[in-house]
Amino acid sequence: MSATALGNGSPGQPTPVAELVAGQLKALLEAGNYDGAKLLLRPVQEVDAAEAIGNLPRTLQALAFRLLPKDEAIAVYEYLPVDVQQTLVERLRSGEVLELVEAMSPDDRVRLFDELPAKVVRRLQAELSPAERRVTAQLLGYAPETAGRLMTTEFIDLKEFHSVAQALAIVRRRSGSTETIYSLYVTDGARKLTGILSLRDLVVAEPEARIGEVMTREVISVSTDTDQEEVARAIQRYDFLAMPVVDREQRLVGIVTVDDVIDVIQQEATRDLYAAGAVQAGDEDDYFRSNLFAIARRRVVWLLVLLVANSGTSAVIASQESVLERLVLLAAFIPLLIGTGGNVGAQSSTVVIRGLSTQRIHQLGLGKAVGREALAGALLGLLLALVVLPWAWLSGGPLVAGAVAASLLAISTLAATAGASLPLLFDRFNLDPALMSAPFITTIVDVAGVFIYLQTASRLLAGLG
């Protein structure tokens, strides 16, 4: 027995199994010991085998892949990163490729087709069996990032007139070819979804009972064009293992399973985090696999936008040069002021954007959320002004101290209000609220903050002068 306990290794080694296997596999293949490699791969989990093969040099990948038993090969293939899948499509014989692609589950196949060159896809499509071809074409017809794209069309549907025993026989027969047998769906003659039951319900029911009597009629479903994020939220909310997907006529066309939903949740979190860090999220969120120029391209656009916005700050300062000339020490507080303002704004936009994405903000109400942020900003500004005031007084005298403290209070309030309301405004206009995340708020606050500060200072100076 080779039970693998995770979590006993040191934190620095995240996936010890796959790394270990990859090293041994490479050595065995290079030594030509194919039987040894086969033996090594046998007890390994499919996802670990996929990672090990993915880490091999390109020339060895196809070789290692051929060593897998046929039924396992398909599962391993589905776990491989798309670029390795592509390499295998190129390197395996066309017969082998076709067999693989034919056996893949439709949703994984569509994800592969999205990445392959159009010519290869056309060739493969043409050679698929008619049933698989139809399904693939259907899925490819849905917009990316919708329930239609995410779903699998392999599910078990029962009829209300089936007995429990009949239903169990159906489940048994079809269990090899469907992604899950734990969620079962009931449709009528027109393939409309009328009920749902779990395998648990089926197992505990009397064998003679009718499905129509044991099923639940209150079904929650999504439609093919529902956004994947919304599908994820629904599954999370109801603790489902799978969610039925219906078309416009309420006909059941597929199901989305919980494992795919977890990937969506991770992907959306990455997207939100990247937006908070001013990095443009690509189609694939695999930043570490892309090359240097792709990276620079994904970052430079945002940097330039922010640079242009920031040049506003320079223009403001340049226009107030006379104030600075009279009291150059004023300039020394600019970084502190805009830095703090930026941080307060970043805090507010972060909690609001996250609240929108987890929908927690609706517990409070949008208007109230903005009001509370403004209040929090004023309170924070007051606290910070109290801290900074004595120190600014010591280094610059009462006038500088007054200007710094008053501006800090104003900037904090402004930053918190803008940080909370701009993402909400964007959301209202159906734009991605994450676009209004920390970097953008920070830059807006920079410009406004410098203006407020220098205006205050010049008023105070004028009052004195």
From 31-39, 133-141, 213-221, 379-387, span contacting a copy of itself (CB under 8 A)? 379-387
Is residue 303 a contact residue for a copy of itself (CB under 8 A)?
yes
Smallest separation (angstroms) from a copy of itself to the CB of 289: 8
Closest CB to a copy of itself among residues 161, 391: 391
Which of 32, 325, 394, 465 touches a copy of itself (CB under 8 A)?
325
- The Cα 132–Cα 7 span in angstroms is 41
**Can you tell me which of 344, 399, 405, 411 binds a copy of itself, judged by CB under 8 A?**
344
Q: Which of 68, 116, 376, 410 binds a copy of itself (CB under 8 A)?
A: 376
Single out the segment in contact with a copy of itself by CB under 8 A; choices: 158-166, 207-215, 246-254, 371-379: 371-379
* Placement of tokens 């064998």 in the chain: 207
Q: Are 84 and 52 in contact (CB under 8 A)?
A: no
Neighbouring C-beta atoms of residue 118, cutoff 10 Å: 8
Task: In angstroms, give the least distance from the CB of 69 to a copy of itself.
Answer: 14
Taking CB under 8 A as the rule, does residue 366 contact a copy of itself?
no
In DSSP terms, 222 is beta-bridged to 245
Contact call for residue 361 and a copy of itself (CB under 8 A): yes
List the interface residues with a copy of itself, window 12-31 (CB under 8 A): 12, 14-15, 19
Of the residues 358, 367, 397, 398, which one makes contact with a copy of itself according to CB under 8 A: 358
Quick check: 26 and 60 in contact, CB under 8 A? yes
Report in angstroms the alpha-carbon separations of 168 from 19, 76, 126, 153, 179. 41, 29, 36, 20, 16
Contact positions with a copy of itself (CB under 8 A) in 222-281:
235-236, 239, 241, 258-259, 261-263, 265-266, 269-270, 272-274, 276-279
Q: Which is nearer to a copy of itself, 131 or 329 (CB)?
A: 329
450 binds a copy of itself (CB under 8 A): yes
Nearer to a copy of itself, 226 or 347 (CB): 347
Interface residue with a copy of itself, options 82, 121, 219, 295 (CB under 8 A): 295
Smallest distance, Å, CB 435 to a copy of itself? Answer: 15
- Determine the straight-line distance between the first and last CA of the chain, rounded to whole angstroms: 87
Q: Is residue 82 close enough to count as binding a copy of itself by CB under 8 A?
A: no
Q: What is the dihedral of CA 103, 109, 112, 117, to 10 degrees?
A: 90
Can you point out the beta strands (E) in 91-230? Answer: 157-158, 183-187, 193-198, 222-223
Number of residues that bind a copy of itself (CB under 8 A): 117
Ranges within 176-195 binding a copy of itself (CB under 8 A): 176, 181-182
Find all residues with CB under 8 Å of 242, minimum gap 6, and list them. Answer: 155, 180, 182, 183, 235, 255, 256, 257, 258
Please, are residues 264 and 285 in contact by the beta-carbon 8 Å criterion? no
Distance CA 447, CA 449 (A): 5
Enter the tokens of residue 382.
Answer: 């007051």
Q: Is 286 in the site for a copy of itself (CB under 8 A)?
A: yes
Tell me if residue 453 falls in helix, strand or coil.
helix
Task: Give, as ranges, the residues between 386 and 405 that touch a copy of itself (CB under 8 A).
Answer: 387-388, 391, 395
- Is residue 409 part of the contact set for a copy of itself (CB under 8 A)? no
Cβ proximity to a copy of itself: between 62 and 302 the closer is 302
Interface residue with a copy of itself, options 306, 389, 425, 461 (CB under 8 A) = 306
Residues in the chain: 465
Site string for a copy of itself, 39-58 (x = CB under 8 A): ----xxx-x-----------
345, 344, 338: which is closest to 454 by C-alpha?
338
| Interaction between residue 411 and a copy of itself (CB under 8 A) | no
Q: Which amino acid is at 291?
A: N
- Which is nearer to a copy of itself, 89 or 256 (by Cβ)? 256
The residue among 62 and 447 lying less far from a copy of itself, judged by its C-beta, is 447
Q: Report which of 317, 340, 355 is spatially closest to residue 404, judged by C-alpha positions.
A: 340
Instruction: Beginning with the edge strand found earlier in the chain, give each strand of the sheet holding 193-198 in spatial order.
Output: 157-158, 183-187, 193-198
Instruction: Mention every residue, 6+ apart, whose C-beta is less than 8 A from residue 17.
Output: 4, 44, 45, 48
The yes or no reply on residue 143 touching a copy of itself (CB under 8 A) is no
Residues sharing a CB contact under 8 Å with residue 25, sequence separation 6 or more, in sequence order:
37, 40, 41, 52, 53, 56, 64
* Interface with a copy of itself in residues 197-216 (CB under 8 A): 199-200, 203-204
Q: Which stretch binds a copy of itself (CB under 8 A): 93-101, 107-115, 142-150, 298-306?
A: 298-306
92 versus 278: smaller Cβ distance to a copy of itself = 278
Is 168 near a copy of itself (CB under 8 A)? yes
